[in-house]
A = this chain, B = another copy of it.
Amino acid sequence: MSDPNEVDQNGNPVPETRVLAIASHVVYGYVGNTMATFCMQTLGCEVAAINTVDFSNHTGYHQWTGTRTPAPQITDLYAGLRNSNLLDYDVLLSGYIPSADVLHEVTTIARDLKFRRNTMNHGRFFWVLDPVMGDQGRLYVSEELVKGYRDAIGQGSDGPDLLVPNGFELELLSGVHLAGGGGGSEDGGELERKPTGDNFEADLGQVKKAIEVLHTRNGMPMVVVTSVRVQGKQDVLCVVGSEKKSDGSSRCFVVEVPVLDCYFSGTGDMFAGLMVARLREEAAAAGLLNKASYASEDDVLATDLPLAKATVKVLSSMSAVLEKTMQARNKEMEMWEGERKGMGQVASVDPQDHKGEEGGEERAKSLARTKAAEVRAVRNARDLIHPKIRYEAKELQE
């Protein structure tokens, strides 16, 4: 009910923000809503979480238990919120969605929330869509769901305001190959050939082209590609974002961040959660919360966009936390190795469960490594709240 442009008296960097977050939940570790909710709450956002799955742990452990939430159960939870008058959200963040049915429900929810909020004069509704489909050339959802995402981003003003795909997902949605050479199809249909695979190196010109397709063909107001490797730069990842101008043209910025030698799960969710909070902060500072899609004027340069400023803050927080996570992981694995040696290869963590199995020792080590790489967001919340700015957004001209 309060004015979102009002300055907060409690030291919160982000204006009052109510988020509906629809994504996965895991009991242990930090991916999906379990990651994004913590990041948003730590930055002062009120988060209502609808969980699309409820798993024991993330799939990087190669084993898990739990349930997927059927679409009618999500419909039912939303009806409960409606009946209790609990639908005054500023932002929808949608992440992992297990099926085309659930995606259909999410787009229905988005349309309903946007209608409610935009007729209430308490600031505009904003939908951040993380189109979780796959990574590094590997699709982990159904083709039907991929088609569903292509439809969802073609809804114009009922669609998402900000899309945060990885490189692979950008290819799938734009139809543009990111590696140099191939043009791909731009009609929103199937790619003419298989999307670019594992650890490919993107051409930034192609990345820009793909973003422009989303701006012009889909009317997507904002896009941030959360990580692509580029030709000739082995040691950095590029994050590329753009907000379209009123004529549909792009204004792209790029932020380079160092590659860390560690695989983390949940970084996409961390990016999306922090982005919700920081984009609210920057859009409030620019007085844009009452404008559709928090749109900046056409004369704002790429590097001065709220989206660019938010991206720099988000990436600065993430790098600090991920570096500390990698240090903690290395220390934890050293201790783990030491304990295994001290006990003559007998499992200390779990004596019953993995002994005698074929490859039991390898498996125990793989599980320990995955666990040790769980992102240390909670113990390093200070880096989320007060990031030391490490990076700079530069205009992408190619």
- Asked if A348 and B120 sit within 8 Å, CB to CB, the answer is yes
- The minimal Cβ–Cβ distance linking A324 to chain B, given in whole angstroms, is 8
Q: Using A10-B379, A42-B381 as known contacts, say yes or no to A82 and B350 having CB atoms under 8 A apart.
A: yes
Total contacting residues, chain A, CB less than 8 A: 69
- Asked if A77 and B83 sit within 8 Å, CB to CB, the answer is no
Per CB-CB distance, the 10 closest pairs between chain A and chain B, nearest first, are A56-B80, A65-B80, A28-B86, A28-B48, A61-B84, A85-B367, A65-B76, A56-B77, A27-B48, A1-B335
Asked if A11 is at the interface of the complex by the 8 Å CB criterion, the answer is yes
Q: Using A49-B27, A336-B1 as known contacts, say yes or no to A64 and B80 having CB atoms under 8 A apart.
A: yes
What B residues does A81 contact at CB under 8 A? Answer: 27-28, 56-57
Asked if A55 is at the interface of the complex by the 8 Å CB criterion, the answer is yes
- Asked if A84 and B28 sit within 8 Å, CB to CB, the answer is yes
What B residues does A29 contact at CB under 8 A? Answer: 48, 86
Looking at the complex, which one of B25, B49, B332, B367 makes contact with A84 (CB distance below 8 Å)?
Answer: B367
Q: A34-B49, A64-B80, A65-B76 are in contact. List 18 more A-B contacts (CB 8 A).
A: A1-B335, A2-B331, A10-B324, A27-B80, A27-B81, A38-B41, A41-B41, A44-B381, A47-B378, A56-B76, A57-B80, A57-B81, A57-B84, A57-B86, A63-B80, A65-B83, A66-B80, A67-B73
What B residues does A177 contact at CB under 8 A? Answer: none
- The minimal Cβ–Cβ distance linking A317 to chain B, given in whole angstroms, is 14
Fill in one digit per residue for A38-54: 1 if any B CB lies within 8 Å of its CB, else 0: 10011011111111001
Asked if A364 is at the interface of the complex by the 8 Å CB criterion, the answer is yes
- Asked if B51 and A79 sit within 8 Å, CB to CB, the answer is no
Looking at the complex, which one of B42, B76, B85 makes contact with A350 (CB distance below 8 Å)?
Answer: B85
Looking at the complex, which one of B77, B331, B336 makes contact with A54 (CB distance below 8 Å)?
Answer: B77
- Asked if B42 and A42 sit within 8 Å, CB to CB, the answer is yes
Q: Using A48-B27, A332-B1 as known contacts, say yes or no to A41 and B378 having CB atoms under 8 A apart.
A: yes
Compute how far the CA of A348 lies from the CA of B28 in the bound complex, rounded to whole angstroms. 41
- Asked if B83 and A63 sit within 8 Å, CB to CB, the answer is yes
Q: Using A80-B55, A86-B371 as known contacts, say yes or no to A11 and B382 having CB atoms under 8 A apart.
A: yes
> How many monomers of this chain does the complex have?
2
- Asked if B76 and A349 sit within 8 Å, CB to CB, the answer is no
Asked if A87 is at the interface of the complex by the 8 Å CB criterion, the answer is yes
- Asked if B1 and A56 sit within 8 Å, CB to CB, the answer is no
Asked if A157 is at the interface of the complex by the 8 Å CB criterion, the answer is no
Residue of A46, A80, A370 with highest tally of chain B CB at under 10 A: A80
Asked if A143 is at the interface of the complex by the 8 Å CB criterion, the answer is no
Pairs across A and B, CB under 8 Å, 14 listed: A10-B379, A27-B77, A27-B80, A28-B48, A29-B86, A44-B379, A44-B381, A55-B77, A55-B80, A56-B76, A56-B77, A57-B86, A85-B368, A120-B349
Residue of A16, A348, A379 with highest tally of chain B CB at under 10 A: A379
